[in-house]
Structure 1
Amino acid sequence: METTRTLRGVPLAGTAVLLLLVPLCSYWETVFHRFGFRDDYSILREAREEPGKILRVCSSQGRILYGWLLEMSARAAGDIEGLCWMRLASVVCLGVLAAAVFLLLIRAGWHPAPAALLAAFMPLTPSAQVLSSWAICWPHALALVLATAAFALADWGMRPGSGRLLRVGGWLGAVVLMAAATLTYQSNSLFYVVLVAATLVVRREDTFKGSVQWVVRHLCVVGAGLGAAFAVSQLTFAAHVFTASPRMRFETHWVSKAIWTVTNVLPDALAMSALDGARGAAAVGYWLMVLGAVGVISAGTVMEYRRIGPAGAGRWLLGMVALSGAAYSVSFLAAERFPTYRTIYALTGVWSVFVAAALVNIGSLLPERGRKVAIGVLAGLVLSGALLARWHSFELFAVPQGRELQLMEEGVRKAVLAKRPRIFVITATQDDSSAPRRYRDEFGSVSIDAEWVAKEVLKSLMKERFSGTADVSKLYQFAAGPKVPEPKSYDILIDMRRMREARP
């Protein structure tokens, strides 16, 4: 793929600036809609009333920087209205990610058009949609940017002609940034591997042995960063600064975990923009996307073999197997089996790279028309991805969560503190969701399905309405449960099950 300085007359710097705006355009409605999502509410209260708790809890899971960033930002946000600024921070990070990926792809040797389209797709995946819609996840997006910066430094140090000082400095800087990304959110620090994959597929002048050595050097940087972060966490546990969470356990059943990963996680990464948990026609579309991605990548690998020979096909197979494993390594090593989109950003990115590169390879069959068709297909994927990103984030996060908040607000408006009202909240079940689709604890899920969430939401709203009261929680009585209470046991009844009435 040849490198040029413009993309249809637009300077590369201008293209990078436009890519900054892609996630803003897609998630704008979601960012500024009035809603919170599950533990957004408790984090707001803890940042204000229990300083240090968020840092301790996050650090117990090896996420020291995440805890610090989350506590500071939640304290600055202050209330439900302020959550939009945390979501905006995530979207800004995703815009920076898209621009940085584009520039790195150009430096690696990608043609500007596919490079711009692949970079534009990165902040539109279902994983990105979760980060843009869940306020407390904004540091996850920052971890992606840190990992990208780590790759840029390491790759700069590895380039031919780099002096010893530059090489060592690049490596050390990359390890430090990788450690910082890992201490923010472990699985997203592995986005580094996505850039390795994107560079690997265009290293056609290299031998297979040279490609293996180059990949190993980058994986050493990744391993060193992960190891440094792990060592820092263990030191804090040993020094009793923080206490390790029971979740900090390693997987011991490797074979069953591998089978589970291939059957439960890999399809979500291959489905690109299509969302899991669908039914009917949407489920058919999901599996068609999975099969389509497999077919495109297979054809692209065959084309690489025809163009370059065994070294080319071997390079691709190396990337698909080794880099996919590396991209999911943290979650694979953890003794948990709960597939969520917020943990597969890097894995989705690796397979997106191979889909884009395979389309370009297939398009090379017809030098002129084929290339235009390949770019058209990529553009179609990005356009559909943008539309789905907007719909998923708004209709499966913002709108249903906004409805939950509105039901709680109806009850709060009835409260008269002078009478010390008894407020009972009938909690919902996940089947009561007003969203047209649902996937686990992310898309379309219900927040107020437990007493602790109802308590946090009610306290936030009461504090918001009676802002002049020092401790508003002492001026009302709260209870919650899944069943209707005795009529005389409450003054205000908030029935969260009513949200299902708004289901399409």
Structure 2
Amino acid sequence: MGAPFTQRRASLGWTAALLFFVPLATYWSTIFHRYGMRDDYAILREAREEPGKILKVCSSIGRPFYGWLLETSTRAAGGIDGLCWMRLAAAVCLGLLGSSLFLLLVQEGWSLPIAALLAASLTLTPSAQVIASWAICWPQALALLLGTGAFALASRGMRCPPGARARWGWWLLAALTMASATLTYQASGLFYAVLLAASLTVRRDDTLKETLQRMARHLCVMGVGLGLAFLTTQILYVTGVFTRSPRIAFETHWLSKAGWMVTDVLPHVLALIVLDDTRGTPSVGYLAMVVLTLTTVTLGIVLEGRRAGATGYWRWLLGLVTLSGAAWCVSFLAGERWPTYRTLYALTGVWTVFFAASLVNLGALRPSRGQQLATALLGVFAIAGALLGHRQSFELFAAPQGRELALMEEGVRQIALAKHPRVFVITARQNDTSAPLRYLDEFGSVSIDTEWVAKEVLKMLLAERFPDVQERNSLYRFAAGASAPEPRAYDVVIDMRRLRQAGGDFHAQLDSHDASSRKDVRSTQ
């Protein structure tokens, strides 16, 4: 018996190690591409010139840990080229998340191949792509890890004998970890619900009562953690340590919010690995994935009812509805309505788990080769997620943002500070994006569409080109707007509307400008 046990431990170790490298391999080209994304530029400057500001701003919206992590890491990054290390930190956290998920899934009872493919898929969703591609989002990946850790600690407490003091100790530690995740990024801490969904779907012999009791205990741990985080922020506001932001407002029209969730949020979740495009009607692939997910999960619930009777049916149905609510509860309670992918990670994860479990149920229709069929189908899903993740993170984040930066660098090379130039940036509109697809302020969006972003990018690039010049910002006059200025009113005009020009020659030209600008920057240092 020793040899099989040792072999299984080795398989677990090697698989966990392999899963760690999945996000790194998927997002590698994006991580080390030279670019920044909207707020990246301002936060780089603020970390250096206005110490404490980032912490105060993040704390004002209930994320003090996020603020500290972001300010510390951005100060260490130093400049645009240093943003890659923040993106690398996100990918490392996602790799650790994949490894942790795999080990926890196996511990809960999932088969090794299904657990590995499911864990990999959960690090390749559009939500994960945003976190890996946007430097300032890296603390969100850490919050995902903390939410996962909270579940692991709570589960450890569940295994203690009833009434044992150790059980309460583990649960308290789990609640504190959940609170830490919430104080980092509220929506990411709710990833706890994804593990709870995985536990529910794999425990096929539990009664409805046992399922409800188990869910209730875990949801209590989540609730206590959320409550502790909320109480902490309120104390910080009341004592004057930080000022509460007007953005912290609770939803007052709950029925309307629930309807909006079904029509404007849930379809993005059901599409799993396929992106929506806010510029037009959804693509055929997007709609097909929504239908496929709904059909697969519905069949999975029906087959569970067929296998275990009404108990199985209600266990899955109640679990799906309850855990979907738990995974999205912060966004539901918040007054804002902004369905970004970075806030949908936990909810997408819950549906991905039920999708995978439903594939297992479908495979069970063929006892002889059903397991292999389910594994193959989930493998295709994971591979598709990896290919889309690699392509979308680069083509919708790194490449278009790199082109924006290259256009600004092209203009900066025309600036001679000794002549006290007048610089005007014609800002782009969101429809000017060079990306083939756009979704809100994430995939394919334009960064330099406002004066403040243009100003921050210009400051960063001038600091790179003239590192030894003192008081650089006083040596030129800056203005920006959506329309071209009067002729000869400015010495240097940077037209960001050129992004909308089509054709590979234009993109190749910008890429060559990007390469030459790196050389210019190195030569001045």
TM-score in terms of structure 1 length: 0.97
Q: Deviations over 1:75-119 (max 9, x none)?
A: 000100000000000000000000000000000000001100000
Q: Residue in 2 aligned with 1:260?
A: 260
| Equivalent position of 2:375 in the other structure | 375
| Residue range with higher mean Cα deviation, 282-291 or 77-86 | 282-291
In structure 1, C-alpha distance between the alignment counterparts of 2:34 and 2:18, rounded to whole Å: 27
Partner of 1:52: 52
Deviation of 1:475 (Å): 1.6
Aligned-pair CA distance for 1:242: 0.8
Q: Residues of 1 paired with 2:464 and 2:316: CA distance? A: 55
The 1:38/1:265 distance shift into structure 2, 3 A limit, reads same
AA of the residue aligned to 1:323 = L
| Paired letter, 1:202 | V
Q: Which moved more, 1:415-424 or 1:401-410?
A: 415-424
CA separation in 2, counterparts of 1:36 and 1:484? 25
Q: CA deviation at 1:5?
A: 6.2
Identity %: 61
Alignment of 1:65-214 (within 5 A): 65-161=65-161, 164-214=164-214
1-side partners of 2:318 and 2:190: how far apart? 17
Q: Matches of 2:482 and 2:7 in 1, distance apart?
A: 57
Assess, with a 3 A threshold, how the Cα gap between structure 1 residues 281 and 449 changes in structure 2: closer, same or farther: closer
CA contact (8 A) 2:43 2:54 kept: yes
The whole-number CA distance in structure 1 between the counterparts of 2:113 and 2:480 is 55
SS at 1:489 equivalent = coil
1:10, distance to aligned residue in structure 2 (A): 6.2
Structure 1 residues 6 and 188 mapped into 2: Cα distance closer, same or farther (>3 Å)?
farther
1:465 and 2:479 correspond: no
Q: 1:429 offset after TM fit, Å? A: 0.3
The answer to whether the aligner puts 1:43 opposite 2:50 as a matched pair is no
1:284 counterpart residue number = 284
For the residues of structure 1 that align with 2:336 and 2:445, how far apart are their CA atoms?
A: 20
Structure 2 counterpart SS, 1:431: helix
SS at 1:124 equivalent:
coil
Partner of 1:409: 409
User: What is the CA distance between 1:480 and its match in structure 2?
Assistant: 0.6
Alpha-carbon distance between aligned partners in 2 of 1:368 and 1:7, rounded to the nearest angstrom: 25
Please give the alpha-carbon distance, in whole angstroms, between the structure 2 residues aligned to 1:162 and 1:407. 64
Deviations 1:156-186 (A, max 9, x none): 1111547723212211111111000000000
Q: Which residue identity is paired with 1:80?
A: I
SS of residue paired to 1:487: coil
Separation in structure 1 between the aligned mates of residue 9 and residue 358 of structure 2, nearest angstrom:
26
Distance of 1:6 and 1:115 partners within structure 2: 19
Q: Which amino acid aligns with 1:179?
A: A
Is there any run of 5+ residues in structure 1 with no aligned partner, and where?
none
Q: What is the match of residue 488 of structure 1?
A: 488
**Partners of 2:468 and 2:160 in 1: CA distance:** 65
- 1:237 matched residue in structure 2: 237
Matching residue's letter, 1:298: T
Counterpart code for 1:77: A
Residue in 1 aligned with 2:358? 358
User: Structure 1 stretch 413-422 or stretch 259-268: which is displaced more?
Assistant: 413-422
Q: What are the Cα deviations for residues 298-343 of structure 1, in whole angstroms up to 9, with x where unaligned? A: 1111111122221111110111100000100000000011111010
Partner of 1:272 in structure 2?
272
Give the aligned CA root-mean-square deviation in angstroms: 1.6
Q: What displacement does 1:501 show?
A: 1.3
TM-score if structure 2 supplies the norm length? 0.93
Distance in 1 separating the partners of 2:282 and 2:117: 25
Secondary structure, counterpart of 1:494 in structure 2: strand
Give the Cα separation in 1 of the matches to 2:369 and 2:8.
17
Residues 440-479 of structure 1 mapped to structure 2, 5 A cutoff: 440-479=440-479
Name the residue aligned to 2:296. 296
Cα gap change, 1:73/1:435 in structure 2, threshold over 3 Å: closer, same or farther?
Answer: same
Q: Cα offset for 1:281? A: 9.8
Please, which moves more after superposition, 155-164 or 326-335?
Answer: 155-164
